[in-house]
Amino acid sequence: MKNIVIAGFMGTGKTKVAKILSARLNMKYVSTDRLVEEKEGISIREIFSKKGEGHFRKAENGAIKDAALMENVVIDAGGGVVVDPENLKNLKKKGMVVCLWADPGIILERTKKYTHRPLLNVRDPLGKIKELLKSRRPFYERADCHIDTSAMSAEEAADEIEGVIKNARTNR
C-alpha cells in the first residue's frame, strides 16, 4: 500500500487526521515538524526566531527526503511543505498526497489558542491566514485529492480518506 501524505494549511486538522488513519490502518505516524525538531534539537518556534525561516525550510526539505523514503507511513506534512515542488515530487514517489482545506475563519478558531506556529504569531492572524492561503493555493491544488474539513470532525475526514483509498484500489 502507498504511503499517505496529509498536507494542507495550518489548522485544517492534519495531525488529528493523520493519527487516526495511522491507528486505523496500522501504519506508522510520522510528522515532518517533529523530524525537523529532532534533528535541530530545538522547537520550530526557536528555529524561526534564532535561525530564520530559510533555515527551517532547508531542514524541512531534508525531513521530507527522509520521510519520503519510509514504508507504510502516514506522513503529517507541515503546512508549507508542498510550496516547494521538489518536496511534493519526493512525497508523490511513494505516497498519495491528500490536501486538507478549511475556511480562513475556521482556521483562525482552531489555531488562535496556540503559540507554536510562528507564522501566525502576528497582529492580524486572520489577514495572514488569508494572504498565505491565497499565495499557496496553486501549490496545494497539486495534491492528489482534496477534503474540506471546515464542517467535519477529524474522524469524518479520516472516513473520507479511507473511502478515497478504497476507490483508488478498486479502480486500479
Binding site for ligand S3P (CB under 6 A): 10, 14, 33, 44, 78-80, 117-119
How many whole angstroms separate alpha carbon 60 and alpha carbon 27?
22
Nearer to ligand S3P, 58 or 166 (CB): 58
Min dist. Cβ of residue 170 to ligand S3P (A):
31
Please provide the DSSP assignment of 13-39 as one string: SHHHHHHHHHHHHT-EEEEHHHHHHHH
Nearer to ligand S3P, 10 or 99 (CB): 10
Min dist. Cβ of residue 122 to ligand S3P (A):
12
Min dist. Cβ of residue 12 to ligand S3P (A):
8
Min dist. Cβ of residue 96 to ligand S3P (A):
19
Nearer to ligand S3P, 80 or 104 (CB): 80
Q: Which three cell numbers stand for residue 58?
A: 532547508
Nearer to ligand S3P, 85 or 163 (CB): 85
Nearer to ligand S3P, 33 or 92 (CB): 33
145 contacts 164 by C-beta, under 8 angstroms? yes
Min dist. Cβ of residue 133 to ligand S3P (A):
10
The beta strand positions in the chain, using DSSP E, are 3-8, 28-31, 73-76, 95-101, 145-148
